Structure 1
Amino acid sequence: MEKFQKLKEVLSGIEADASKFYDAGNAAAGTRVRKAMQDLKVLAQEIRAEVTEKKSAK
């Protein structure tokens, strides 16, 4: 559950940058959004592996 909480924190943390990129066209904010999305991808994959492991252990 810890990784899921981290995923939620990363997602909520990029809202301002996403708004700056899409609404104001701020390229630097777009770079930060791309990095955060990569972090989300990694976290999501780790969560998937954890869930699969727990399911298999039962």
Structure 2
Amino acid sequence: MEKFEKVKALVASIETDVEKFYSAGNAAAGTRVRKGMQDLKVLAQEIRTEVTEKKNAK
């Protein structure tokens, strides 16, 4: 559950950069969005692994 909260916080933290990139064409914001999405991908994979382990332990 803790990792899921981190996912929500991460999505919220990159929201302003997404807006800056798509609305204003800010390239630096686009770089931050890409980094945030990569972090999100890693975190999502960790959650998937944890869920699979828990499911198979039952």
Identity rate, percent? 76
Cα distance between partner residues in 1 of 2:2 and 2:36? 18
1:7-37 alpha-carbon deviations (Å, 9 max, x no partner): 1100011000000000000000000000000
The aligned amino acid for 2:10 is V
Cα distance between partner residues in 1 of 2:35 and 2:49? 22
In structure 2, the residue matched to 1:3 is 3
In structure 2, the residue matched to 1:40 is 40
TM-score (norm 1): 0.98
TM-score (norm 2): 0.98
CA RMSD of aligned residues (A): 0.4
Q: Which runs of 5+ in 1 are unaligned?
A: none
Q: Which runs of 5+ in 2 are unaligned?
A: none
